[in-house]
């Protein structure tokens, strides 16, 4: 079985954690629109931290100024 991660800006996916068994990993991007190059640069700068949080957390919320993780 593959362990996949949903990366989204849509809050509906965060709700799937409550109804799916086992719940998927969700990376919820919670910052405003930005240019594509800035978006890629930003994600590249925080992706290692996101990956380190995924094994023990099902929901990672990524804000422009912080990252929050929920088990």
pLDDT 10s digits, 7-41: 998 887 766 676 666 777 899 999 989 999 999 99
| Angle, alpha carbons 64-32-44 (nearest 5°) | 50
* Residues linked to residue 25 through DSSP beta bridges, in sequence order: 5
pLDDT tens profile 32-58:
899 999 999 999 999 999 999 988 998
Show the tokens assigned to 29.
């991007």
Asked whether 15 and 26 are in contact (CB, 8 A), the reply is no
Q: Report yes or no on whether pTM surpasses 0.75.
A: yes
| Domain residue ranges of the chain, discontinuous segments joined by + | 5-70
How far is the C-alpha of 10 from the C-alpha of 6, rounded, in Å? 10
Task: Find out whether 27 and 58 touch, Cβ atoms under 8 Å.
Answer: no
């Amino acid at each position: 079985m593959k362990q996949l991660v949903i990366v989204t800006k849509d809050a509906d996916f965060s709700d799937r954690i409550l109804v799916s068994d086992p719940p998927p990993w969700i990376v919820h991007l919670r910052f405003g629109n930005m240019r594509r190059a800035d978006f890629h640069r930003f994600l590249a700068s925080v992706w290692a931290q996101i990956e380190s949080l995924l094994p023990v957390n099902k929901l990672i919320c990524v804000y422009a100024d912080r990252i929050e993780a929920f088990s």
